[in-house]
Amino acid sequence: MESARETTDAHLLWSNHPAKEWAECYPIGNGRLGAMIPGSPEMERIGLNHDLLWREYWTYKSRDAAENLAEIRALCAKGKWDEASELMLQRVHLTGEGLYVNSYVPACDLGIRMFHRGDGEIESYRRSLDMEKGIAEIVYQAGGIEYRRTYFCDWKTGVVVVRLSSDRAGSLCGEVSLSRLLDPECVVTGQSKLGEVRLTGKFEEGKRFAAAVRVLQRGGRLTNGNREYRQPEGGRTFQEEREGDRVRLPGRGDDGDLGGKGSRVHLLASIPRTKWFLSSRSPRITSRMIR
């Protein structure tokens, strides 16, 4: 990685600028749920994926080939080549059959758009990845305020956690969204309500998936942005292709009770297989984990 610098800590990667391409993003995950972190201060696009999200173009009838390999080998060992060949042709795909595998596909993007005070010029930027702890982080200054964003993926709860904080109360202002690049083979829908965004997708062969993000904040004010997903109509620019549902973070001047001199907001994103993530219990479970 060109932007990485050597440090005294062999487990730590760091850079003084955001990722310029996907391959430079810092990965986090829990073995099932994963995220790619570009580390952009103003417009972050975190790529979310799940190990079970594979397309289903090709379907093959199972012939239980593995269960018959021992018998085929035994026949070969006895010199019964014709019988072994006949059994193999019955149980194993012929050359030209079963060559294709279904493709692995990304789920969606978690967008974090920040509105900084003043001129908002980014200074003292640093992003890092602790490979022992599985924690990525960016730190920077804008308008005289220090902002910090911490990312990790929890194994037990199955969520990607993003903690946004600053050293000045009422300074976290922005939008959170879920979106997906335009794909003619996938229909995407979604909704948002106060503090929560959901996205669902369905590929043309019937494969379905879903993602959700919740916002936990102390003090400030949350509002809704787009309540319904806006499907792009065709060839547009890279940014315009990814417009999704969104929730606005606490705005400027909404200091509230932040428990100190700074501001902080937590984002919990997941690609759930069950409904527990969307239940009323999940914020309490995860808020204990990230305090």
Per the DSSP assignment, residues forming a β-bridge with 202 are 187, 208
Could you tell me if 32 and 158 lie in one domain? yes
The amino acid present at 13, given as its one-letter code, is: L
- Mark which of 99, 121, 152 sits at the end of a domain: 99
Tell me which residue of 54, 53, 44, 268 sits closest to 158, measured CA to CA.
268
Q: Is 28 exposed, middle or buried (0-12, 13-18, 19+ CB in 10 A)?
A: buried
This prediction's pTM: 0.73
Could you tell me if 110 and 239 lie in one domain? yes
Could you tell me if 78 and 197 lie in one domain? no
- What sign does the dihedral 110-116-121-122 (CA atoms) show? negative
The confidence score (pLDDT) of residue 146 equals 93
- Report the number of distinct structural domains present in the chain: 2
Q: Is residue 1 assigned to a domain?
A: no
Could you tell me if 82 and 202 lie in one domain? no
Could you tell me if 280 and 153 lie in one domain? yes
Q: Domain range spanning residue 194?
A: 12-55+106-290
Could you tell me if 43 and 133 lie in one domain? yes
d(CA 129, CA 7): 12
Q: Is residue 275 assigned to a domain?
A: yes
Q: Is residue 21 assigned to a domain?
A: yes
Task: Spell out the residues 6+ positions from residue 239 whose beta carbon is closer than 8 angstroms to its own.
Answer: none
* Phi-psi group of 119: left, alpha or beta (phi > 0 → left; psi -120 to 50 → alpha; rest → beta): alpha
DSSP helix/strand/coil, 277: helix
The confidence score (pLDDT) of residue 43 equals 92
Give the tokens for residue 146: 């220090």
Model confidence pLDDT, tens digit, residues 67-120:
888 899 999 999 999 999 888 887 776 655 556 678 889 999 999 998 887 776
The confidence score (pLDDT) of residue 247 equals 55
Could you tell me if 180 and 235 lie in one domain? yes
The confidence score (pLDDT) of residue 24 equals 96
d(CA 215, CA 249): 8
- Mark which of 99, 125, 158 sits at the end of a domain: 99
The confidence score (pLDDT) of residue 29 equals 94
Phi, psi of 44 (to 5 degrees): -90, 135
d(CA 131, CA 111): 24
The confidence score (pLDDT) of residue 4 equals 45
Tell me which residue of 94, 20, 215 sits closest to 1, measured CA to CA.
20
Q: Is residue 47 assigned to a domain?
A: yes
Output Rg (C-alpha) for the chain, integer angstroms: 24
Could you tell me if 37 and 78 lie in one domain? no
What residues of the chain score a pLDDT lower than 70? 1-8, 60-64, 93-100, 120, 219-220, 224-264, 272-291
- Mark which of 99, 127, 158 sits at the end of a domain: 99
Q: Is residue 2 assigned to a domain?
A: no
First to last CA, the chain: 33
Could you tell me if 72 and 165 lie in one domain? no
Could you tell me if 87 and 192 lie in one domain? no
DSSP helix/strand/coil, 241: helix
Could you tell me if 133 and 153 lie in one domain? yes
Q: Is residue 220 assigned to a domain?
A: yes
Could you tell me if 78 and 170 lie in one domain? no
CATH of the domain at 151: 2.70.98.50
d(CA 159, CA 143): 32
Q: Are 144 and 222 in contact (CB under 8 A)?
A: no
d(CA 252, CA 173): 6
